[in-house]
Amino acid sequence: MDVFDAIGKRRSCRSFKDIPFDHELLERILEAALWAPSPKNAQPWEFVVVTNRDIRKKIYCEAEARRKWVLEKSGWRWLENYNVDFLKAVPVIVAVIGDPDRSGADQFLPEGGMGYQHACAAAVQNMLLAACALNIGSLWFSLFDPVVIRDILGLSSSKLPIALVCLGYPKGDPQSPGRKGLERVVRYIR
Amino acid sequence: MDVFDAIGKRRSCRSFKDIPFDHELLERILEAALWAPSPKNAQPWEFVVVTNRDIRKKIYCEAEARRKWVLEKSGWRWLENYNVDFLKAVPVIVAVIGDPDRSGADQFLPEGGMGYQHACAAAVQNMLLAACALNIGSLWFSLFDPVVIRDILGLSSSKLPIALVCLGYPKGDPQSPGRKGLERVVRYIR
């Protein structure tokens, strides 16, 4: 698929068929992640591929707990009806884990380095575009507490879960929520 | 260009021809940025396109100051020879600016939300892939203090510069530093 088509056609998918995922497709998507840029090419990431049903269930429970917690904190009424059941059906959840010790020059700033998180986010975007090109449904899921996900996945306390990438065969055809036009978000200094 | 080719062929370019940049290509690259995903589709970004020579010079001066500062802090000897002169030649620098007030549910976590930065990073990756497909040299530059860049660009103190994306016609053919294989960065929980 053309790269501009993939960028424009990628959608957030929240409905998946509950069938196993082709391993070769998964590896193509993970390989795409690796080619993201990172400060000093430190590749400050690892990818935990969760297909285990018990662990997916735990992730679902965390998302559901977090949904209720955020609803209370935020007052965002749309969360009342935000259904995270798709986390039980999706066959693969890839946790993208960042390593703060492999950030760039920004690690010396008083507020600490964020470059490793940016690199992980670029890796996620590569995965989503690759999935789109392969007709795989994907979702960048972020409704979780990183500390809880770290425990569920048995990660060292020095690592930070950045994103959960859901991958599966899509049910239906997710719509785009649209975007603001360039004139609203671009300023020129000529 | 095929999306997998773009993902694999994108390189960090640090040598540009000092000639003006085609506006239509620039808009195609910016349009690609817009289609990145963001929490709640909040589109927590703006793009400041710098072609003005005086402002580019100020950005160069900040990068050079930051290089010396990081060299001292880090002891990274490679920074002694890291030449940022390309910032004077590159015709376009796009500052990608994040808005912390438009993060996702993570904004309610004690450590604050990072989702808006992740979204901006995904937008940057889209730009780099679009540039690659258009045979434009690009660089995700992060050797700066966001506070200084904010001042140079006249931004509100509530906004955070996430990245400087250099765009121009490349001189030469940047090489890839390679990547670790999947077996070193992927773990399965089956």
Q: Looking at beta carbons, which residues of chain A come within 8 Å of B186? A: 30, 46-49
Is A182 part of a structural domain of the chain?
A: no
Q: What is the pLDDT of residue A50?
A: 98
* Residue of A50, A33, A19, A6 whose CA lies nearest to A121: A33
Is A181 part of a structural domain of the chain?
A: no
- Confidence band (pLDDT; 50, 70, 90) for B160? very high
Structure tokens at B127: 């730009």
Domain of B47 in residue numbering reads as 3-172
| B88: CATH | 3.40.109.10
Q: What residue of B is the nearest CA neighbor of A153?
A: B189
Q: Which of A13, A14, A26, A35 to mutate to test the interface with B (most CBs of B within 10 A)?
A: A35
Q: Mean pLDDT score of chain B, rounded to an integer? A: 96
Is A190 part of a structural domain of the chain?
A: no
Is A188 part of a structural domain of the chain?
A: no
* Inter-helix orientation angle A23-34/A115-133, to 10°: 140
Q: Looking at beta carbons, which residues of chain A come within 8 Å of B31? A: 182
Q: What is the pLDDT of residue B109?
A: 85
B34/A74 touch (CB, cutoff 8 Å), yes or no = no
Q: What is the pLDDT of residue A112?
A: 84
A128/B37 touch (CB, cutoff 8 Å), yes or no = yes
Q: Does pLDDT of B189 surpass 90?
A: yes
Is A69 part of a structural domain of the chain?
A: yes
Compute the distance between CA of residue B182 and CA of residue B153 in angstroms, rounded to an integer. 40
Q: Looking at beta carbons, which residues of chain B come within 8 Å of A79? A: 105
Q: Does pLDDT of B112 surpass 90?
A: no
The sheet carrying B45-50 orders its strands as: A186-189, B45-50, B92-98, B160-168, B137-141
ipTM, two decimals: 0.98
Is A153 part of a structural domain of the chain?
A: yes
Kindly report whether the global pTM for this prediction surpasses the value 0.90: yes
- Indicate the residue of B3, B69, B73 with minimum beta-carbon distance to A129: B3
Give the ranges where A79-145 is alpha helix by DSSP (H).
86-89, 115-133
A186/B30 touch (CB, cutoff 8 Å), yes or no = yes
Is B143 part of a structural domain of the chain?
A: yes
- CA of A143, closest CA in chain B: separation in Å? 6
Q: What is the pLDDT of residue A131?
A: 98
Q: What is the pLDDT of residue A28?
A: 98
- Indicate the residue of A69, A115, A187 with minimum beta-carbon distance to B46: A187
CB proximity under 8 Å: A 12-71 to B: 12, 27-28, 30-32, 34-37, 39, 41, 43, 45-52, 55, 66, 69-70
Is A143 part of a structural domain of the chain?
A: yes
A142/B118 touch (CB, cutoff 8 Å), yes or no = yes
- Indicate the residue of B8, B106, B182 with minimum beta-carbon distance to A30: B182
CB proximity under 8 Å: B 105-134 to A: 105-106, 108-109, 114-115, 117-122, 124-126, 128-130, 132-133
As a whole-number percent, the residues of chain B with pLDDT over 90 amount to: 93
- Contacts of residue A177, Cβ cutoff 8 Å, sequence gap at least 6: B41
> What are φ and ψ of residue A55, in 5° steps?
-70, -40
Q: Looking at beta carbons, which residues of chain B come within 8 Å of A128? A: 37
Partner residues linked to B97 by β-bridges: B46, B161
Compute the distance between CA of residue B24 and CA of residue B39 in angstroms, rounded to an integer. 29
DSSP structure class, residue A18? S
CA distances from B163 to A27, B140, B169, B170 (A): 29, 7, 20, 20
Q: What is the pLDDT of residue B63?
A: 98
Q: Does pLDDT of B111 surpass 90?
A: no
One pLDDT digit (tens) per residue for chain A, 190 residues: 999 999 999 999 999 998 889 999 999 999 999 999 999 999 999 999 999 999 999 999 999 999 999 999 999 999 999 999 999 999 999 999 999 999 988 898 888 899 999 999 999 999 999 999 999 999 999 999 999 999 999 999 999 999 999 999 999 999 999 999 999 999 999 9
Q: What residue of A is the nearest CA neighbor of B46?
A: A185
- CA of A183, closest CA in chain B: separation in Å? 10
- Indicate the residue of B69, B108, B130 with minimum beta-carbon distance to A7: B130
Domains: count for chain B: 1
B103–A contact, CB cutoff 8 A: no
Q: What is the pLDDT of residue B117?
A: 97
